[in-house]
Each structure stands twice: as C-alpha cells, then as structure tokens.
C-alpha cells in the first residue's frame, strides 16, 4: 500500500479496532478513517491525525457507503458483543451485527478500488460439541463444520464468514478472515458486563486487594479452559493475514491453554496476594474448553502469537489498576 491510501477501520471506538488504528498510524499511514457508533468521548482511545466518524451506526446501509468512499483497505471489526455474560443474554443483539457485515461488504464491492477487506470472526464460530471437555483438543479451522456454533454470536460470525467467501467468489472482492481467540490487553472493556475473563479477573483481584475483602467470585468451577491472546500479537496477526494470499479463515489466537483457576493464580501473583475463591456455578461460563490449533497459520505465514499470558496479564493488570484508582478519584475512565 501507498502511505496515503485510505484505510477504514470500523469499531474504532472499541478495544481491538482502537488499537489497530494506532498500529497503522504508527506505521506511517496518513489517511485512516476511524468509525464507531459511540460518541467520541466514549471511545477507548483516540489517535491524533486520524479522521474520526463517531456516532455512525453501520447497521444503516447508507452510512457504510459513506465511510467506505475512497477506501483501499477496510477492516470490519464493528460488532455488538462482549464477554460470555453479555453473549449469553443478548443473542438477538449479537445476531443483528449481520447487518453491519453485510452492508460493509456491499459498500466495499461498490465504492471503487478496495484491495482488501478484513473481517474479524471468532472462535465462537466453532462446533460447540467439540468443546465439552476442559482438556480440549485444540480447534483446527476445519472444525467449524459441521456447523454448531455458539448460539447467537457464533452463528452470526459463521454466517458472515460465508458472506466474505461468496463476495470473493462472485464479485472478486479480496476478503480475509481471522477467527479471534480471546483477545485481551490495556484499553479494553474491564467493567460493566461486556468485559472478558482476563479483564474481569484483574478487576476482581484489584478490588479485593483495595477493599481488603480477601475473596474473589469466579464464574463456574474454575476448571474450564481457554487460551488468551495479547493485543500486540492480535494486531501483528491482522496485518499479516490481511496482506497474505490466504483467502480461507485462519485461527488467530495463542495456543497456551490455561484454566480459569490458573488465570486467577497469575493475577494473584501480580497483586502479591492469595484470595479465597467463591465459585458461582450458575453463572454464564460458555463451553468447557477451547484452544487454538495454530498449525495452519504457522505453515502458511510462518508465525503464531507467542506473547506469554503471564507477561501480557501483568501489563493488563497495571492498566486496569490505574483505571480503578482513577475512578475512585473521580477521573474519567474507560469502562
């Protein structure tokens, strides 16, 4: 790409797309269009020298055509989503993101010279029947079929993957798809119901330490397993996948499988304390186990996410701790 080519990043008021905006700006791209439905003062981070489109609802078709005008690359990360607590209780809301993805694909097809269209899918697109054990076999890309995705959010992701595939086949639009596996890091949701496990655990440990309760509530029995990818690995992976020749969906996640109990162990180590664990067995907890098989991305791109969870969690903890104390002091924080 030319450094003056237009890059459109949707969902830029959120965690991953906001970080992606900064990533491309720091790489020297001069014409970045950042789009989000939230007002600008609610964005997780803003980047100087970027053309911002706040308050822009991409479920409305006309808005998609407006923001895609002149674009050479489009990164479609806008979605109504959150952690498992949000996903399990807002299935219809998650499904409505199909309007954003469909309208963005139509706009990318029609506006002129879009060379790449990146779509952020999710490991929730995988067959849930393969994720019933904590000692799970890592999920390969072909395990999405036969389809039995996470209800609501996962089905929307899988459907939109198919839309990308068919827009490539029928219209020649070069689409790229990554299936994200639990991305975490600073400048992300850490409170309010949409946060994911690493942020939620850090927040709970910080609150327990600050308040002196000596206790932490854990959703489920703590033995459920996941892999968690630090944001810097995610950004590098998006860049590599978008500019590769790989048209099929690729896993983008760490292969470091851990239990939620071990995630709590790591947060406690950062905090320098041990807490009594209270298990909320009726809380939303998703599938029993999920991990990323990185065989294909290593074969095709010669790389896989590699930042250790302990390293990334320490950075995330430090940022959330600052947010916690800023909020107590009455300062504006990201939530």
pLDDT tens for 245-275 read 999 999 999 999 999 999 999 999 999 999 9
Question: What percentage of the chain carries pLDDT values higher than 90?
Answer: 93
* Domain presence at residue 303: no
**In the predicted model, what is the mean pLDDT of residues 24-52?**
97
* Domain presence at residue 63: yes
* Domain presence at residue 139: yes
Q: What is the CATH number of the domain that holds 205?
A: 3.90.25.10
- Under DSSP, is residue 25 helix (H, G, I), strand (E, B) or coil? helix
Tell me, yes or no, whether 100 and 22 share the same domain: yes
Tell me, yes or no, whether 284 and 170 share the same domain: no
Tell me, yes or no, whether 189 and 104 share the same domain: no
Mean pLDDT of the chain: 96
pLDDT grade for 240, boundaries at 50, 70 and 90 = very high
Tell me, yes or no, whether 218 and 317 share the same domain: yes
* Domain presence at residue 300: no
Query: What is the structure's pLDDT at 102?
Result: 97
DSSP string computed for 139-195: BPGGGG-S--PPTTHHHHHHHHHHHHHHHHHHH---EEEEEE--EE-SSS--SSS--
Tell me, yes or no, whether 137 and 107 share the same domain: yes
Token readout for 194 is 């949409």
Residue 334 scores a pLDDT above 90: no
**How far is CA 148 from its chain centroid?**
21
Helix (H) or strand (E) holding 26: helix 15-26
**Contact present, 51 and 34 (Cβ < 8 Å):** yes
Residue 6 scores a pLDDT above 90: yes
Tell me, yes or no, whether 58 and 191 share the same domain: no
**Contact present, 123 and 292 (Cβ < 8 Å):** yes
- Close Cβ partners of 61 (under 8 Å, ≥ 6 residues apart): 103, 106, 107
Residue 284 scores a pLDDT above 90: no
* Domain presence at residue 335: no
Using alpha carbons, select from 26, 119, 40 the residue that is nearest to residue 75: 119
Residue 301 scores a pLDDT above 80: yes
- Of the ranges 28-37, 55-64, 85-94, 124-133, which one carries the lowest mean pLDDT score? 85-94
pTM flag (> 0.85): yes
Domain limits for position 190: 185-227+257-292+308-328
pLDDT grade for 84, boundaries at 50, 70 and 90 = confident
E strands, the chain, are: 6-10, 31-35, 51-53, 71-76, 116-122, 175-180, 183-184, 215-219, 225-227, 229-230, 250-252, 257-259, 276-280
Token readout for 220 is 């489920």
* Domain presence at residue 1: no
Query: What is the structure's pLDDT at 313?
Result: 98
Q: Which residues are annotated as catalytic?
A: 153
What is the rounded distance in angstroms from the CA atom of residue 247 to the CA atom of residue 64?
23
What is the rounded distance in angstroms from the CA atom of residue 32 to the CA atom of residue 74?
10
Tell me, yes or no, whether 44 and 140 share the same domain: yes
**In the predicted model, what is the mean pLDDT of residues 172-201?**
95
**In the predicted model, what is the mean pLDDT of residues 197-214?**
97
Q: What is the CATH number of the domain that holds 44?
A: 3.40.50.720
* Domain presence at residue 301: no
Using alpha carbons, select from 329, 300, 311 the residue that is nearest to residue 237: 300
pLDDT grade for 285, boundaries at 50, 70 and 90 = confident
**Contact present, 131 and 290 (Cβ < 8 Å):** yes
Tell me, yes or no, whether 73 and 211 share the same domain: no
85 to 89, 174, 191, 196, 285: CA distances (angstroms): 7, 34, 12, 9, 8
Tell me, yes or no, whether 136 and 271 share the same domain: no
Query: What is the structure's pLDDT at 315?
Result: 98
Query: What is the structure's pLDDT at 85?
Result: 79
Residue 187 scores a pLDDT above 80: yes
pLDDT grade for 82, boundaries at 50, 70 and 90 = confident
For residue 49, what is the DSSP state? T
pLDDT grade for 51, boundaries at 50, 70 and 90 = very high
Tell me, yes or no, whether 62 and 202 share the same domain: no
* Domain presence at residue 92: yes
For residue 130, what is the DSSP state? G
Token readout for 104 is 């963005």
**In the predicted model, what is the mean pLDDT of residues 148-171?**
97
Total domains, the chain: 2
Tell me, yes or no, whether 159 and 221 share the same domain: no
Tell me, yes or no, whether 33 and 141 share the same domain: yes
């Amino acid at each position: 790409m030319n450094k003056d080519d237009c890059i459109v990043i949707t969902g830029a008021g959120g965690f991953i797309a906001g970080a992606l905006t900064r990533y491309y700006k720091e790489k020297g791209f001069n014409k970045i269009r950042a789009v989000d439905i939230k007002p600008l003062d609610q964005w997780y981070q803003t980047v100087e020298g970027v053309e911002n489109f706040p308050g822009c609802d991409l479920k409305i078709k006309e808005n998609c055509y407006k923001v895609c005008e002149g674009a050479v690359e489009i990164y479609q990360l806008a979605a109504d989503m959150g952690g498992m607590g949000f996903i399990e209780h807002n299935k219809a809301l998650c499904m409505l993101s199909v309007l954003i993805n469909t309208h963005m694909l139509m706009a990318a097809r029609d506006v002129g010279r879009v060379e790449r269209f990146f779509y952020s899918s999710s490991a929730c697109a995988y067959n849930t029947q393969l994720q019933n054990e904590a000692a799970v076999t890592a999920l390969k890309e072909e395990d999405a079929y036969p389809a039995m995705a996470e209800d609501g959010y996962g089905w929307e992701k899988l459907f939109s993957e198919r839309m990308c595939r068919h827009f490539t086949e029928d219209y020649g639009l070069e689409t790229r798809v990554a299936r994200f596996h639990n991305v975490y890091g600073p400048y992300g949701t850490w409170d309010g119901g949409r946060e994911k496990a690493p942020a939620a655990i850090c927040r709970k440990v910080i609150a327990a330490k600050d308040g002196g309760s000596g206790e932490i509530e854990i959703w489920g029995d703590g033995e459920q397993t996941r892999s968690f990818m630090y944001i810097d690995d995610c950004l590098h992976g998006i860049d590599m996948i978008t500019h590769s020749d790989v048209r099929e969906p690729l896993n983008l996640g760490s292969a470091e499988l851990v239990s939620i109990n071990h995630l709590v162990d790591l947060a406690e180590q950062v905090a320098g304390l041990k807490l009594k664990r209270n298990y909320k067995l009726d809380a939303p907890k998703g599938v029993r186990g999920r991990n990323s098989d990185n065989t294909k991305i290593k074969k095709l791109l010669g790389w896989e996410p590699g930042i250790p969870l302990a390293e990334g969690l320490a950075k995330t903890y430090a940022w959330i701790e600052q947010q916690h104390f800023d909020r107590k002091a009455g300062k504006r924080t990201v939530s």
